[in-house]
């Protein structure tokens, strides 16, 4: 049986800038775009000015690293929830290099860098980039097309500490078995995050898509993290509570319907097969 990290993590989120360009169906209801607009920042689109954050903000990871050292712990940083770290944009050359230097300096922090543009990673890291052991590289995979388009570029980075997928929002069935086994260079996907969509126009996720990905990871001994259902749960789980809910049919391959009820992200939670799947990959620091 595969062994996964059981470390209790402290989580941080760091953004060097805000703004991006939508590139695929997973971006249709982008929470970051909506939040930026709500805050009065028009930073989305190819011609928009990105919002580069100030020096005080860039000093935060140094403080987090110090706290982690004092506590004798490793902390995790999710990088660029309000942007795409590997977007091709001349405004981002300097802040991206600044963050890469901070990652090297903050050796007690494990940095999760997620992108929908893994084909750009090598260009922006450089041919001779010396991958620090605290850098995790990931790509978003919302459907099979995204999987087959993006994962091959992520696997070029065989020296990254962790290569991970964020299958969120999951918009279709995905078969990633061939990416969960080592390739010719020994690189494989080490961690899979799964999640449904939440928000005003959220789309329900078919339970069969979630179940399939969890089984694929189990069969391959790869850590899997089911983050959330999103706004919808199978209707039979919430039937009979007396509440009127929006119900949407999701179709199985054989034509049978699965009814999904909109209950909201908080009430939907993240339980499937009667348990939470909260596995983390092993790293050089947890083996």
Closest C-alpha among 231, 228, 232 to residue 258:
232
Residue 179 CB contacts under 8 Å (≥ 6 apart), including other chains:
147, 151, 155, 165, 188, 189
What burial letters (b/e) apply to 158-167, b meaning 16+ CB within 10 Å?
eebbbbbbbb
Task: Provide the pLDDT for residue 1.
Answer: 40
Residue 40 CB contacts under 8 Å (≥ 6 apart), including other chains:
none
Question: Which tens digit of pLDDT belongs to each residue from 213-267?
Answer: 999 999 999 999 999 999 999 998 987 776 788 999 998 878 889 999 999 999 9
Task: Provide the pLDDT for residue 9.
Answer: 66
Task: Provide the pLDDT for residue 252.
Answer: 82
Residue 145, judged by CB atoms within 10 A of its CB (0-12, 13-18, 19+), counts as middle
Residue 224, judged by CB atoms within 10 A of its CB (0-12, 13-18, 19+), counts as buried
- Residue the block writes with tokens 């802040």: 95
Q: What's the CA gap between 82 and 60, in Å, rounded?
A: 16
**Digitized pLDDT (tens) for each residue of the chain, 287 residues in all:** 455 655 556 899 999 999 999 999 999 999 999 999 999 999 999 999 999 999 999 999 999 999 999 999 999 999 999 999 999 999 999 999 999 999 999 999 999 999 999 999 999 999 899 999 999 999 999 999 999 999 999 999 999 999 999 999 999 999 999 999 999 999 999 999 999 999 989 999 999 999 999 999 999 999 999 999 999 999 989 877 767 889 999 988 788 899 999 999 999 999 999 999 999 999 988 87
Task: Provide the pLDDT for residue 177.
Answer: 98
The pTM assigned to this predicted structure is 0.95
For the range 66-72, what are the long-range contacts, defined as Cβ-Cβ under 8 Å and sequence gap of 24 or more? 68/10, 68/108, 68/109, 69/108
Cis peptide bond upstream of 253, omega within 30: no
Task: Provide the pLDDT for residue 5.
Answer: 59
Task: Provide the pLDDT for residue 4.
Answer: 65
Task: Provide the pLDDT for residue 152.
Answer: 98
């Amino acid at each position: 049986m595969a062994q996964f990290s059981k470390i209790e993590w402290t989580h941080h989120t760091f953004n060097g800038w805000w703004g991006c360009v939508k590139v695929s169906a997973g971006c249709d209801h982008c929470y970051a775009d909506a939040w930026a607009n709500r805050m009065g920042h028009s930073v989305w689109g190819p011609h928009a000015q990105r919002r580069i954050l100030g020096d005080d903000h860039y000093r935060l990871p140094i403080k987090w690293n110090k706290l982690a050292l004092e506590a004798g712990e490793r902390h995790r940083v999710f990088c660029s929830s309000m942007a795409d770290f590997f977007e091709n944009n001349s405004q981002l050359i300097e802040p991206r290099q600044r963050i890469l230097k901070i990652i090297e300096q903050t050796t007690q922090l494990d940095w999760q860098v997620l992108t929908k543009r893994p084909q750009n990673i090598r260009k922006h890291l450089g041919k001779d980039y010396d991958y620090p052991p605290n850098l995790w590289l990931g790509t978003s995979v919302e459907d099979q097309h995204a999987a087959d388009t993006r994962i091959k570029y992520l696997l070029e980075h065989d020296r990254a500490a962790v290569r991970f997928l964020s299958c969120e929002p999951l918009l279709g069935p995905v078969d990633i078995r061939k990416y969960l086994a080592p390739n010719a260079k020994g690189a494989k996907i080490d961690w899979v995050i799964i999640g449904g969509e939440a928000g005003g126009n959220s789309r329900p996720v078919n339970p069969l898509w979630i179940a399939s990905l969890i089984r694929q990871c189990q069969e391959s001994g790869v850590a899997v993290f089911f983050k959330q259902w999103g706004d919808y749960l199978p209707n039979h789980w919430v039937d009979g509570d007396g509440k009127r809910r929006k119900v949407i049919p999701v179709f199985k391959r054989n034509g049978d319907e699965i009814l999904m009820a909109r209950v909201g992200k908080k009430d939907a939670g993240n339980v499937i097969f009667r348990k939470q799947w909260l596995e983390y990959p092993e790293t050089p620091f947890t083996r």
